[in-house]
Chain A
Amino acid sequence: MSIWLKVLYAAISVSVATVYGLTLGGIVRKIYARVHGRFGPPVWQPFLDIIQTHSRRVAVSHGNMFLLGPVFRLAGGLGTYLFIPVIFGSALFSNFSMAGDLLLVMYFVFFGQLGMALGAGQGGHPYSPLGIARGLAQMSTFEVPFSLAVISVAIQYNSLNITSIVAAQQGSFLNWTLFTNPLAVVAAMISLLGMNMHSPFSIVLAPQEIPIGPPIEMNSSFLGILQTNRGLFAAAKLVLFMNLFFGGATNLLEMVAKTFFIYMFSVFVGAAYPRFRPEQSFRFFLKWPTIAGILSIIFIAYFGGTS
């Protein structure tokens, strides 16, 4: 396939993922509202918010790093998404998947937050470094169980290529990592709670006591870019989890159904539980999910992978 056709396909795929991620965000707001006994905003509210932020006539910048912050964040979201094959066997949605893409994706998942930390720090508001300190500390702790789960999956399928990991799970739903390596899935799904930053792990954005954390000085289009990335990045993470642990998808409908339910896991937990304090959340990630991750590696190393 020519590289230009691939770029065109990737552009289509990125747009679909962004729209899907933002719509998912709208649905989640509606669900939270229903849990509170409210009607909630319309499902398309995230799109209106993005148009509104981009429609501001002025924007304040605090320097070059501040300008680059949202760009890094968007690059993190794009990078994560562009190396994940979204739909197994589809040329349109295969993106730039290649051998060893799992390593790149693991890197990009955390790249955005680091770039954001650099950019938001220059904003000069005392709440942004506070949010960043919490965000990076929480990130390093939920990275531990997630990395252990990914290592476990890599040992199990003897591959660092997401496409071949998905291929190994085809045939029956009993071939999914969920059933062949449940401990890794437990560790990863708990770290997904931290990644999505819903309650109980919403201390990074902490809407009440350190208002919205790192992006506090981000305004106008800067904020618009961050919001766009929130949609894209949410979709990318969900597709990654679907590919690694829930057998991937062979068509768009299956992808939507699976990612929706994966997301609902963290939404339901978020709607039901109050927020952890930072030290509680760090301790939590380093305890049970980490133990589950280590056990899954021992289990897989002992009993061997499927391929």
Chain B
Amino acid sequence: MNKKHNDEIENQMKLANESLPERERALFADERPSTVEAFNKYYEGFLNWARSRSLWMLAFGTGCGATELRPLMTSRYDMSRYGIAPRPTPRQASVFVIGGYASIKTIKRIVRSYEQMQGPKYVIALGSCTINGGMYFDSYNTINRLDYYIPVDVYIAGCMPRPEALIAGFNRLKEKIRAGECEGMNLYVEKFDWYKENQKQIIKDWNMPDYNW
């Protein structure tokens, strides 16, 4: 009886993947993401120190702000001396820089990429568009506030923020990581239903599983 009851609860906890065609549902994961607690204080402190010294940025330019990421790699700004390196795949990246406005078409890719990143993962939102919509505040096809859809660790205001501002943002992110304040990964899991609701309100052609591990 107890086992049956547990199974029922487990089935209810499974993701429905309703937007996928019936025959494809078995091909995709239907498990909800789960919280992963930090280690004990000192070990986690050491790991956070290493994480902050080796930030792997997902090289996915999501808006016009991505133009500001290119000079960062060049000899003029040279982000590699801060331990920041571009990484072409979300599987290996730890920082997601949202480059300015996120159109509805792009937010779908942003959600997919964010969920595929292996935690702890951090998000830097670049430009005013990610804070309140900026100059696209009344546009029909961009979102206004990014942290309704994915948890954001650091905002960099401006239109456009210069590469120096971006480096300052990275340094702020490092401080937050070292202080153990960047738990966006677990926040996303705790408020999973809320985030999904918001995402699905915006993304009308939701033809992907509910959680893209």
Q: Which residue numbers of A lie inside 8 Å of B, CB to CB?
A: 29, 33, 36-42, 45, 48-49, 51-53, 55-60, 207, 211-212, 216-220, 223
Contacts and interface: CB of A to CB of B under 8 A. Distances in A.
Tell me if B's interface is mostly helix, strand, loop or mixed: loop
A149 to B, nearest CB: 35
A286 B36 CA distance: 52
27 contacts: A29-B80, A33-B78, A33-B80, A36-B75, A38-B74, A39-B78, A39-B80, A39-B81, A40-B80, A41-B80, A41-B81, A41-B83, A42-B81, A45-B54, A51-B47, A51-B54, A52-B50, A55-B47, A56-B118, A56-B119, A57-B36, A57-B119, A58-B119, A60-B213, A211-B89, A217-B91, A219-B91
Given A60-B213, A207-B88, A218-B91, A55 B51 contact: yes
Interface in B39-79: 47, 50-51, 53-54, 56, 74-75, 78
B119 A60 contact: no
Nearest to A127: B89
A78 B36 CA distance: 33
Contact of A40 (B56, B81, B89, B94): B81
Nearest to B185: A57
B58 to A, nearest CB: 11
Interface residues of B, number: 24
A59 B118 contact: yes
B120 interface: yes
A38 B118 contact: no
B113 interface: no
Given A52-B51, A219-B91, A45 B120 contact: no
B91 A52 contact: no
Given A52-B50, A56-B120, A38 B80 contact: yes
A220 B36 CA distance: 15
A218 to B, nearest CB: 7
Given A39-B78, A211-B88, A48 B83 contact: yes
Contacts of B185: 57
The 9 tightest CB contacts between A and B, nearest first, are: A211-B88, A51-B50, A37-B75, A219-B91, A52-B54, A55-B47, A57-B36, A38-B78, A48-B54
B36 A58 contact: yes
A207 B94 CA distance: 18
Contacts of B120: 56-57
B92 interface: yes
Interface string B12-37: 00000000000000000000000010
Contacts of A37: 75
B75 to A, nearest CB: 4
A36 B118 CA distance: 31
A39 B53 CA distance: 16
Interface string B93-109: 01000000000000000
A33 B78 CA distance: 9
A211 B89 CA distance: 7
Contacts of A41: 80-81, 83, 85
A216 B80 CA distance: 21
